[in-house]
A and B are shown apart, each in its own frame.
Chain A
Amino acid sequence: MIDPPEVPGRRTSAWVLLLHTVTFRQARSLVPAVLALGAARGFDGGMVTVVALVVGVTLLSLLWATVTWWRFSYADSDTAVVVTRGLLSRSVRTVPLDRVRGVEVEAPALHRLFGLVRVRIDAAAGAVAGKDEELVVDGVPRAEGDRLRTRLLTRRRPGVVPGAAVEGPALPPPDEPEQEIARFDKRWLLYAPLVGSYLAVPLAGVGALFRLLDEVPDRFVPEFGRPDLADGTVAALVVAAGLVLLVVGSIVGSAVVNWGFRLVRRGGSLIAVRGLVTRRHTELEIDRIRGCTVSQGVGMRLVGAARASALVTGLGDAARRGQLLPLGPREEAWSLAGRLVADPGPLRAHPPAARRRAVVRAMVSGLLVLVAGAVLTATQGWWPVLVAGVVLTVLGVPLGLARYAALGHAAGPSSFAVRSGWLVREHTVLQRRAVVGWQVRQSAVQRRAGLVTVLACVGAGSGGYPARDIAADEAAGFARAASGSWADTLTPAG
């Protein structure tokens, strides 16, 4: 049995009941079922049935929210945070404070109306990633949220190993109260249409709209006159409108997520705040930062934009939480990265064999289509596939060259870097201490070409960062230079 906390359990604010009822938080899973039921039976009773359904679902939701709220309590003691919940099967979860790896305070729009926040406590264990590693305390007043955050994070300070930051570059002394490192410039929103993930926002919106239209019974869908598609101007107008929608949608989407982004340093932590509708407040411990990735998509490279994220050990949902600069000019991203990890110097190009391999790999899919097309042409006299194959094969050459151009690696005195990728070029700089292992991979093709892929295993970010296709005889040297003398084990005897 777990020691009962000496502090009495605290409850979340009762306002959260209203919030959860309005948003159908718990009953949300019922809505599609009810809709499906309604659609199957047909809304025969007309308005009355619909109203009854809505009222029923709302009441159910209120009931559910009340029970959840009533059975939920949390307590923070000097050593642990305890969350108790569950209606029939009670679950008591105790997380020792030294296992708390991050605390995120977020304030969704409705929560802000009532001055409430949601606190996510990240207690991920080791390499296991998952949502259920997270404790969520939903709906406490802002002041209480801040208290919880500072309490959970400051308790841990003495446990930090002194001297851990020695290998890192010089950072300003930690006694400064608060220091702004980066601030989002509204002009950077203009980069958004060139970033894939923001472009996806309006597309997803349109997709959701169509899905909704599908769900609604046909009776309720207004009849549009079929536009005359033969008319070229209509088609052109539709395309133009679509483009405008994409551009505006992506800018709005990025504004919603990144509005008022600020990165400040307070004590030993970096704090990122962002969001227009939902304010998020993420805290990263500098001692846990092992490296930094600056990534640029194809479109972003055209205009010199980039995003930067920190690689933090034991950070759940790292892709979102680790963001240091969601979108901005390349120089800004690099200056941020430079503050966290020392620059290992200019990248070294990979051997010519790597270029050949990249080009061949990029052409393979085109060649397959080409062969299929040749067969089809010979047997059926159907040539379009052949043409597509030729085009794809030819396009493979610049693609392969571009992929090769993205490759690079470097090892400096206290850090090292690897870079790869064409669609999204990721340039990762890691501290030497980040490496928890090396993996050297060589396929049969690579063996003949005298190449290897050297993967630095890191307990942060995606877990492994590869230097693709470096010269085989360089592998051991790179690993040695990028980590430490223990990597001498790799050095061939001869």
Chain B
Amino acid sequence: MSAPPPAPVREPAWSLSRSAISLWVAQGVLTTIIEALVVTALIVFVPADAGWWTTLVRWGGPAFVLVTAVVDIGVQPRLRYRVHRWEVTEEAVYTLTGWLNRTWTLVPISRIQTVDVTRGVFQQLFGLATVAVLTASSQGTVRVPHLGVDVARRVADDLARRAELVRDEAT
């Protein structure tokens, strides 16, 4: 592949928390375990002479689990970490997500309606939190996943305070 053309717009400056990688790895491990259990159950409980497709399950199942394990645990977490970027500037919140299909989202602080901080079960284990910035538009939502808890709190407080100060009509 030739050198990729330059990005159409600027890259946001900051990365997510490094713990996000651990979280994604943990999620990958969990998915792999579940898949392995399902495949094992299939192999154990389905009699070998049930039909031609049992051979497919016996050979294809483990191979599928192996491939997804490598992708989910070995490749995807690091790739995601590289891909997700975010930044809070003087005037706006800015994020980049997606690897093949990339999406940059920019929301000015003056148009922020609410700032949410949420923590899922996994996120609590790894000390992470998601910051969601909502506007009047259903499509203009910025979500920064997996920031360190203290960073997320600080960012949310800071954004809420600044939004209060510069709010014009937030619609």
Contacts and interface: CB of A to CB of B under 8 A. Distances in A.
Contacts of B5: 447-448, 450, 472
Contact of A437 (B4, B9, B10, B142): B142
Interface string A429-440: 000010111111
Interface stretch (B24-32, B70-78, B103-111, B124-132): B103-111
Contact of A127 (B8, B108, B134): B134
A459 B91 contact: no
A463 B104 contact: no
B26 to A, nearest CB: 29
A178 interface: no
B48 to A, nearest CB: 32
A314 B136 CA distance: 8
A205 to B, nearest CB: 34
A71 B94 CA distance: 51
A126 interface: yes
A441 B101 contact: yes
Interface string B117-139: 00000000000000000111111
Taking each of A126, A288, A473, which has the highest tally of chain B beta carbons within 10 Å of its own beta carbon?
A: A126
A459 B135 CA distance: 8
A164 interface: yes
Contact of A475 (B9, B100, B101, B137): B9
Nearest to A127: B138
A452 B101 CA distance: 11
Contact of B4 (A433, A447, A457): A447
A28 B145 CA distance: 47
Given A126-B113, A475-B8, A489-B91, A438 B106 contact: yes
B25 to A, nearest CB: 26
A29 interface: no
A439 B103 contact: yes
Interface string B138-167: 111010000000000000000000000000
Contact of A459 (B10, B100, B171): B171
Contacts of A448: 5
A298 interface: no
A444 interface: yes
B49 interface: no
Nearest to A442: B102
Contact of A441 (B92, B103, B135): B103
Contact of B104 (A290, A436, A439, A473): A439
Contacts of A490: 9-10, 94, 104, 106
A262 B92 CA distance: 42
Nearest to B170: A436
A491 B92 contact: no
A67 to B, nearest CB: 38
A161 interface: yes
Contacts of A475: 8-9
Contact of B139 (A288, A444, A455, A486): A455
B106 A487 contact: yes
Contacts of A457: 107, 135, 137, 139-140
Given A473-B8, A491-B10, A463 B105 contact: no
A437 B102 contact: no
Given A444-B101, A492-B6, A436 B135 contact: yes
Interface string A286-313: 0010100000000000000000000001
A458 interface: yes
B83 to A, nearest CB: 13
A282 B119 CA distance: 43
A161 B169 contact: yes
A406 interface: no
A485 interface: yes
A209 B168 CA distance: 53
Nearest to A288: B171
Contacts of B136: 126-127, 313-314, 436, 459-460
A464 interface: yes
A476 interface: yes
Contact of B100 (A161, A438, A443): A443
Taking each of B8, B106, B108, which has the highest tally of chain A beta carbons within 10 Å of its own beta carbon?
A: B8
A452 B170 CA distance: 27
A490 B91 CA distance: 12
Taking each of A164, A290, A459, A476, which has the highest tally of chain B beta carbons within 10 Å of its own beta carbon?
A: A459
A452 B8 contact: yes
Given A459-B135, A489-B92, A490-B10, A439 B170 contact: no
A478 B103 CA distance: 17
A440 B139 contact: no
Contacts of A472: 5, 8
Contact of B106 (A314, A447, A485, A489): A489
Nearest to A434: B171
Given A459-B171, A460-B171, A486-B108, A436 B137 contact: yes
B169 A437 contact: no
10 contacts: A127-B138, A439-B103, A440-B9, A440-B103, A440-B106, A441-B101, A457-B137, A460-B136, A487-B106, A490-B106
Given A447-B4, A457-B135, A486-B91, 4 more contacts: A126-B134, A129-B138, A436-B111, A441-B102
Interface of B: 4-10, 87, 89, 91-92, 94, 100-108, 110-111, 113, 134-140, 142, 168-171
Question: Sorted from nearest, which 3 A-B pairs have the closest CB atoms?
Answer: A459-B136, A457-B140, A437-B140
